[in-house]
Structure 1
Amino acid sequence: MPAIVPRVSMGRKTLIIVIAAVLIVSIVGLNLYRSRQQVPVEVSTATAQIEKMGATILTSGNIELVEKQEVYAPSDRLVREVPVQVGDQVKAGQILVVLEADSESLSLLEAQARLAEQEVTYQKYFNPAPEDLKIAEAEYKQAQLKYESSLRNADSYEKLYAAGAVSLQELETARTQLAADEAAYLKAEREWNKIRNGLQGAERRSQEVAYHRAREAVKLAEQNLTQFVVPARIDGQVMAVEVSPGDVTKAGQHLVTIGDPRRLEVKVGIGEYDAARVKKGQEVLIEASAFPEKQFKGQVVEVSQRAFVNKNTQSQQVEIPVRIAVDSEQEGLLPGFTVKVKIITVPEKERLVVPYEAVVDKDGQKYVYVVSQGKAKQAAVEIGLEGDLNIEITKGIKEGDVVILNPPDDLKDGQAVKPVEGPAQEARG
């Protein structure tokens, strides 16, 4: 009996071949993928370390006197006296320079004389002394007696004239005397009442206005004279004298400067983006070219609440003025020195830092990749202070962790990695 040979159709045979090929390719691909996964990715690394770190703002400015008085000529004038010289210690009120001011001096004397008259009148009516009251009362009573006597005398002359005993001229003389004595009596009575009861109504207001005007006139004359006979407004030291007796000044010419060289400050401008970081009381380090090996200290004493455009820069940068007081240890610093200043906005202290290149941002979350047992472990971190090269890590990793620098975009959590040859790089300060 002949053997039975199974017959397989060509279509079924083709299907089997295709399935086998797919299985083979899948197995090969899986093996290649596993092989690639097992090949470590070479990476550069750095070690997270503790390092002293703070934040500063660098700028520059000029040393100035905290308080100073600069004297300028108000007009073309002859210099009469210069009673001070550079280095002298002066007190407030001490004369610094005397310019020709004859007419201004005369105006002051006249104003003072008018004020003296007004003060006598003002005191008499608004704050009378007991003696003023007694004198006014005595003058009133004396005028009253004289008036009453003249009244009796005039009555007598009227009768005598009617009887033909005196002439009309004699009667008129008596009448004239009576009128004069009556006027003097009424005036003395008013004066007595004014002093006793004080001025009233419009008369009171008029006297007050006259008195205050006289006082203002003296103040104005004094202020005008101080432009030419110039007193020191502050205690200090004479820093500059630029005229001598006999010189003729020009309007606006600088004459004398005084100030306290122990009280110095620096005025600087900071960019608007740094404004929120600068606060009153922050420490400042100051360096002067004249003392390259020395560092002075200061403190922020004022941050302006108003910005301005610095037209001295090419870009006309918007700046906020900041005033810095120089500490008492300032020997050698002079007004006018150009200095570099470093405002310490965040005090330096020990912080855990890594290089900037270690931190990546994914959808607003910061990460670093830590090398652990030959694999890259993704760690979510929180950052703090940012320095020039390093960034502070406040949460997520610890000191000594080795982090990957510039991790590849396709680096996966758990992927095998191999640091480049040589020791792991340390965070750079």
Structure 2
Amino acid sequence: MKKKILIVGALVVAAGAVAFFLMNQGNGIQVNGAQVGRGSIEDFVEETGTVMARNNIQVYSPAAGKVTEVLVEVGDIVVEGDVIARLDSETLSYQLAQLDAQRSAAVAALNDARRAGDANAIRSLQLDINQLTGNIQEAEERLEDTKTLYEAGAISQDQLRSAERSLETQKTNLQKLRLQLDQLNSPASQNLIVQYEAQIRQIDLQKQELASSGEDYTIVAGTSGTVLHRMVEKGSFLQPGMGLVELGDTDDLYIQSDILVSEIAEVKEGQQVRITNTDLGIETTGRLTKIHPNAFSKISDLGVEQKRIKVDIEMDSVPMGLRPGYDLKIMIIIDSSEETLLIPENSVFTIDHKDHVFVVENRTATLREVETGIRSGREVEVLSGLSQGDVVIQSPDSELEEGKAVEVMIQ
């Protein structure tokens, strides 16, 4: 009797296990799925671009001097030949005075060479040396007083420099007088006379060239345009080559951007560009017209040094109110496809360096190899391996295996 009861109990347990298995087979693993559909997809490089003005140039100072007047403001429109700024002529006058002093000394040296050995000339020159030596001593004392006044704020730096230049000139003249005295005490040669004559001619040429450069002290625009930046103010002291203003043609705008070297290989001239700025309400298109030849280093916002290359973009239409310096979002379209099969990016995974997906067939997961194309955002183009209407499993976990029953929730 007990044996029969045990057999019946075993049969009940076995039947329950079968029923449990069948129930689980019916329910399956719950997964999220998506239907393979058709649509358009684009691959792009996204960056920030800055609006630039065409024919952008800087006006530089051709001479040294203090800015006495700046005649333009940012936003002013100038034409070629308009006066931008004026410098004082103090430096020019000082240089001319130096040349005059050098010429006088050379003429005196020439005369001394011609009358070498003249006792009267020697005595006269010695008196000049003694007098100049005394003047230098007095000038040195005055310079010390001048430095004290400058440090106390009683005089300007220009006054101090003037005193320093005066002393230096006198010391130079003393050296020349002593040289002349040595020459008078020795027989003069014809070669020495020729040298002094050549020196005088050279000084005359320098004076002519310097006098003709007086026009450099009125600085004019070399081209027409709008003043984009002004780098100097009245009272600034300039050296040759320092920038005064930046000019550009605000009627001819383009966009310049910096592309990472790692992305530049897929960027080509002629590619379409989408241009937007939500804050300004700007949405337009353009074309990439130039890839600059040289890479450069740039520090990112996170402090990382990056290698980048500049590119230029022409806008198909320039939005109203756009100005140089504005930042815009650019998307350079490097590849695109229309009416192609698309699946979610999170449904694709790699096995042995090949792309695969799980496809739902008869409520089971089926592994299938696929060939993919463009990847953009959260979508992937499928070139082969799937058909429109197929259902793929999104974000399959490690427990999902081929042949397992699944319950799909289409998203």
Assess same fold via TM > 0.5.
yes
Contact 2:65 2:89 in 1 (8 A): no
Relative to structure 1, the CA distance from residue 98 to residue 311 in structure 2 (aligned partners, 3 Å threshold; closer, same or farther) is same
Matched, 1:250 2:253: no
Who is 1:400 aligned against? 389
Aligned partners of 1:348 and 1:99: how far apart in 2? 61
Runs of at least 5 residues in structure 2 that lack an aligned partner in the other structure: 1-10, 97-205
Aligned partners of 2:350 and 2:70: how far apart in 1? 74
Runs of at least 5 residues in structure 1 that lack an aligned partner in the other structure: 1-23, 108-216
Question: After superposition, where does 1:80-159 map in structure 2 within 5 Å?
Answer: 82=71, 86-91=75-80, 95-100=83-88
Of 25, 31, 38, 1:43 maps to 31
Relative to structure 1, the CA distance from residue 399 to residue 312 in structure 2 (aligned partners, 3 Å threshold; closer, same or farther) is closer
Relative to structure 1, the CA distance from residue 360 to residue 241 in structure 2 (aligned partners, 3 Å threshold; closer, same or farther) is closer
Matched, 1:356 2:345: yes
What is the TM-score with the length of structure 1 in the denominator? 0.54
- Give the CA RMSD over aligned residues: 4.2
Contact 2:364 2:404 in 1 (8 A): yes
Who is 1:323 aligned against? 311
Of 53, 70, 76, 1:65 maps to 53
Who is 1:340 aligned against? 329
Who is 1:310 aligned against? 298
For the residue of structure 2 that corresponds to 1:333, the secondary structure is: coil
Matched to 1:41, the amino acid is: I
CA radius of gyration, larger in:
1
Matched to 2:34, the amino acid is: A
Across the two proteins, how many residue pairs are aligned to each other?
285
Question: After superposition, where does 1:189-338 map in structure 2 within 5 Å?
Answer: 228-239=217-228, 247-251=234-238, 255-288=244-277, 291=280, 293-311=281-299, 313-327=301-315, 328-338=317-327
Give deviations 1:299-336, integer Å, cap 9, x for gaps. Answer: 32333444333235333231312232342524211122
Relative to structure 1, the CA distance from residue 290 to residue 49 in structure 2 (aligned partners, 3 Å threshold; closer, same or farther) is closer
Contact 1:78 1:249 in 2 (8 A): yes
Contact 2:67 2:88 in 1 (8 A): yes
For the residue of structure 1 that corresponds to 2:304, the secondary structure is: coil
Aligned partners of 1:33 and 1:290: how far apart in 2? 60
Relative to structure 1, the CA distance from residue 304 to residue 250 in structure 2 (aligned partners, 3 Å threshold; closer, same or farther) is same
Matched to 1:318, the amino acid is: Q
What is the TM-score with the length of structure 2 in the denominator? 0.56
Aligned partners of 1:383 and 1:314: how far apart in 2? 34
Matched to 1:389, the amino acid is: R
Aligned partners of 2:337 and 2:308: how far apart in 1? 25
Relative to structure 1, the CA distance from residue 374 to residue 86 in structure 2 (aligned partners, 3 Å threshold; closer, same or farther) is closer
User: 1:254 deviation in Å?
Assistant: 5.7
Who is 1:139 aligned against? none
Who is 2:137 aligned against? none
Who is 2:105 aligned against? none
Of 375, 381, 392, 2:364 maps to 375
Relative to structure 1, the CA distance from residue 355 to residue 225 in structure 2 (aligned partners, 3 Å threshold; closer, same or farther) is farther
Who is 1:419 aligned against? 408
For the residue of structure 1 that corresponds to 2:318, the secondary structure is: coil
Who is 1:120 aligned against? none
Give deviations 1:254-283, integer Å, cap 9, x for gaps. Answer: 643321002223333233332222222222
User: 1:361 deviation in Å?
Assistant: 1.7
Matched to 1:371, the amino acid is: V
Contact 2:356 2:370 in 1 (8 A): yes
Contact 1:265 1:323 in 2 (8 A): no
User: 1:54 deviation in Å?
Assistant: 0.8
Q: Which has a greater percent of strand?
A: 2
Who is 1:127 aligned against? none
Contact 1:304 1:320 in 2 (8 A): no
Relative to structure 1, the CA distance from residue 281 to residue 249 in structure 2 (aligned partners, 3 Å threshold; closer, same or farther) is same
Contact 1:358 1:405 in 2 (8 A): yes
Identity of aligned pairs, percent? 22
User: 1:396 deviation in Å?
Assistant: 0.8
